[in-house]
Amino acid sequence: MGQYDISFKDLIAGAEKDLLKVIGFDATDLQSMNDLQSMNVEFSSVKERRVDIVYKCIVDLQEVIAQIEIQLYYERYFPIRMLGYWTDLKQRFPEYPIIQIVLTCGRNIKNSFEEEVKIKKSTGKETKSSDQSETEKSAEEEIWSVYVKSKYIVIDLCEIPFERFLSFDNPNINAFGILSKDCDVGKLLQRIIDYKLAEEQTVSLITKIYILSKLAKRDKEVEKFMQETQKINLMEYDLFREAIERGLKEGREKGLKEGREKGLKEGLIKGLEVAIRSRFGSRSQRLISKLRQVDDLKKLHQIAKKFSRVKSIKDIEKILLQNS
């Protein structure tokens, strides 16, 4: 399971009713039905299928089985997989209508599977030719037709207005606003911070927003906001580690083109700059100026190695002084 799918499912957990309202379903009496194995569902495939999320709920005064599937990339045979899910669920819950909802983000996901097979069957009956007096033996043709059609609902979260996500007093639902085409990144992150949740919970939410922001190509906006506001000491967590790693990777790639050592130096400096800004905000410029004066690759490696253990601005100043 990819990091995007995990973030989706973590945000959905406990916020199912509000999520269904966001996409247009006013569902009540939600009951999770995800433990399919303990309910003896007979999967038709040899390889076990993994249904993302399944609920029994009431929609428009009728009990239904609602399946929410997350599909964030193109998959040629996805409609067939959805048909397989439908038959598996229908076998387990034959008395309930099945509603299938697919959540995606800016991907062209097909919303149906349709196939018709026609077979000609000979009846063996004799027919008389219109221009001959004699009876000819010919086979009358009868057409057998097998027709299968399955449709499901595809919701592109990018097309839902940003303010709709923010209209709910639910930080998990707000977080999905990062995917909206008209998202205001600063407003979204400030909204999450204003809930004044426990620090670890806030950072966890922002981490998920950061991961999903890559789908909408807004990850740099998230990084910039957190660097500038300094509401949370993010470097104690994993939020911007990828930003640092990206700096190192860019440096390594540049090193192949412009000289390995020079590229690695620039990559390390870039990664450390991101880390210092995210840790110390407006106080970071003086530290970055000192960092850029370090020209020894081995010393830069030492600084990067020690940085994760620093607790204050004095600690990083000491490390820079030792390696200047």
Residues 3-30 have pLDDT tens digits of 677 788 888 887 888 988 998 888 777 7
Where residue 211 falls among pLDDT bands split at 50, 70, 90?
A: confident
Average pLDDT, the chain: 77
Same domain flag for 252 and 304: yes
Q: Please provide residue 59's backbone torsions phi and psi, each rounded to the nearest 5 degrees.
A: -130, 125
Same domain flag for 202 and 258: no
What's residue 46's pLDDT? Answer: 36
Of the two residues 249 and 164, the one the predictor is more confident about is 164
Domain count, the chain: 3
Which range has highest mean pLDDT (56-65, 115-124, 258-267, 279-288)?
Answer: 56-65
What type of residue sits at position 280? F
* Mean pLDDT for the stretch of residues 133-162: 79
Does residue 18 form part of some domain? no
Pair 18, 170: CB distance under 8 Å: yes
- What residues does 150 pair with on adjacent strands? 113
Same domain flag for 174 and 200: yes
Does residue 232 form part of some domain? yes
Does residue 249 form part of some domain? yes
Measured distance CA(26)–CA(294) in Å, rounded = 60
Same domain flag for 63 and 154: yes
Residue 207 above 60 pLDDT?
yes
* Mean pLDDT for the stretch of residues 136-147: 69
Domain-terminating residue out of 100, 130, 158: 158
DSSP 109: -
Q: Among the listed ranges 106-110, 196-200, 274-278, which one has the minimum average pLDDT value? A: 274-278
Where residue 74 falls among pLDDT bands split at 50, 70, 90?
A: confident
Does residue 286 form part of some domain? yes
Of the two residues 47 and 139, the one the predictor is more confident about is 139
Residue 44 above 80 pLDDT?
no
Same domain flag for 64 and 154: yes
Same domain flag for 53 and 90: yes
Per-residue pLDDT reduced to its tens digit, 246-302? 555 555 555 545 555 666 677 677 777 777 776 666 677 788 888 888 888 788 778
What angle in degrees, to the nearest 10, is found between the helix axes of 219-229 and 199-213? Answer: 150
Domain-terminating residue out of 208, 236, 264: 236
Same domain flag for 289 and 266: yes
What's residue 96's pLDDT? Answer: 93
What's residue 260's pLDDT? Answer: 57
Same domain flag for 222 and 264: no
Same domain flag for 171 and 297: no
What's residue 287's pLDDT? Answer: 81
Pair 18, 173: CB distance under 8 Å: yes
What's residue 36's pLDDT? Answer: 40
Does residue 3 form part of some domain? no
Domain-terminating residue out of 201, 236, 271: 236
Does residue 192 form part of some domain? yes
Same domain flag for 57 and 28: yes
The two three-digit tokens of residue 132, written as one number: 């001959």
Residue 45 above 50 pLDDT?
no
Where residue 56 falls among pLDDT bands split at 50, 70, 90?
A: confident
Does residue 139 form part of some domain? no
Distances (CA, A) of 58 to 20, 27, 64, 65: 12, 5, 6, 9
Same domain flag for 217 and 290: no
Pair 152, 100: CB distance under 8 Å: yes
The two three-digit tokens of residue 222, written as one number: 């998230």
Q: Among the listed ranges 64-73, 125-134, 141-150, 206-215, which one has the minimum average pLDDT value? A: 125-134
Q: Among the listed ranges 44-53, 76-85, 139-148, 263-272, which one has the minimum average pLDDT value? A: 44-53
What's the domain range around 174? 160-236
What's residue 172's pLDDT? Answer: 94
What's residue 43's pLDDT? Answer: 46
Residue 183 above 80 pLDDT?
yes
Question: Which residue carries 């210092």 as its tokens?
Answer: 276
Q: Which value, to the nearest 10 degrees, does the dihedral of the CA atoms of residues 177, 178, 184, 189 take? A: 90
Same domain flag for 255 and 223: no
Where residue 140 falls among pLDDT bands split at 50, 70, 90?
A: low
What's residue 249's pLDDT? Answer: 58
Tell me the percentage of the chain whose pLDDT exceeds 90: 25
Does residue 133 form part of some domain? no
* Mean pLDDT for the stretch of residues 182-197: 92
